[in-house]
Chain A
Amino acid sequence: METLVFQKPSRIKKDCKVTFCPGCDHGVAIRIIAELLDELGIADKTIVVSSIGCSVFLNDYYDLDIVEAPHGRALAVATGVKRAKPDKFVFTYQGDGDFASIGLGESMHALSRGEKVTAICINNTNYGMTGGQMAPTTILGQKTTTTINGRDAEVQGYPIKICEMAAVCDGAAFVARCSLDSSKEIENTKKMIKRAFESQINGLGASVVEILSICPTNWRLSPQESHERVRRELYPVYPLGIYKDKANK
């Protein structure tokens, strides 16, 4: 007698076609979030805020209530949703450009206010949808279509560190950085998102999970090489771990 040990989460659309580039980590992040909504039993009261960039297409995947935020404004929109409907579960799904470049003001203020929302930030160190330009998180030396000789601190300045910045906001309850570069890290990312969701459910404040992700197309690397790059080049600049956790002071 066979037992079903894995199936698609209930809120992933039955006929959904994942349209991200081959190997892109977005699909994994989207799936584990949906698994958690099932496991925590909160899908019925969830309102998702999508953003601009590759993350704009959430409605292709999720059978959930979703509102699209203008570029960078996801946490402002999420604030409006949560203030209007405090009993709903609200999370944003954004890229690093959205969260930490054009939307840095909205992000920091929502975290400082301690809005009871969760931000999922997919950090792939470049602007994926527009063709791989420099992002706020592009690391020094990284080649992008607008830093063809590599990011130079003298010219483009230094990368922004999302979790380190988020952790200093008094209203932030849970801040963690994780990665999707291996099966083990996928499991860990799911745990981190779960704890972020729980901090919202328990009314502790705002939560952020920054997920280091690959962009094979724009990095000009295979998915396997891309995951290797995450470990080799991104881990030293963006160390994984929990940066803040009000539930376990």
Chain B
Amino acid sequence: MGRVVIDSEKCKGCLLCVEVCPRNVLKKSETYNSKGIYPVYAENKNNCIGCALCAKRCPDMAITEVYR
């Protein structure tokens, strides 16, 4: 069981994290942030194993913390 903390204001919606997540946790949001970007959020929270691959892939340091 893991947990990711996403700063949705910093997310630019490149979706690279979605691609690397082995457990299909992350998904593009339906609502946009103050920059007009549809950020990523943890939809399937319970699937997260805290591998931090998403955080290490994120070019915007928008995934600020990962817990396991």
A binding-site residues for B, Cβ under 8 Å: 2-8, 12, 16-18, 20-28, 31, 182-183, 186-187, 216, 223-224, 227
Contacts and interface: CB of A to CB of B under 8 A. Distances in A.
A182 B14 CA distance: 14
A95 to B, nearest CB: 16
Given A2-B68, A183-B20, A16 B14 contact: no
A18 B9 CA distance: 11
Contacts of A27: 58-61
5 contacts: A5-B2, A7-B65, A18-B12, A186-B56, A224-B16
Q: Is the interface of A mostly helix, strand, loop or mixed?
A: mixed
Nearest to B51: A5
A28 B65 contact: no
Contacts of B33: none
Nearest to B55: A6
Nearest to B16: A223
Given A23-B16, A183-B53, A183-B56, A8 B10 contact: no
A211 to B, nearest CB: 13
Contacts of B2: 5
B15 A6 contact: no
Contacts of A17: 10
Contacts of B53: 183
A25 B67 contact: no
B59 A2 contact: no
| Interface size, B (range) | 20 to 34
Nearest to B18: A224
| The 10 A-B residue pairs with the shortest CB-CB distance in the complex, in nearest-first order | A27-B59, A23-B14, A6-B66, A22-B12, A6-B52, A2-B67, A22-B14, A18-B60, A6-B55, A223-B14
B59 A6 contact: no
A6 B56 contact: yes
A151 B38 CA distance: 36
Contacts of A186: 56-57
A5 B68 contact: yes
Nearest to A2: B67
A223 B17 CA distance: 11
Contacts of B62: 18
B57 A2 contact: no
Nearest to B66: A6
Contacts of B66: 4-7
Nearest to B67: A2
B1 to A, nearest CB: 9
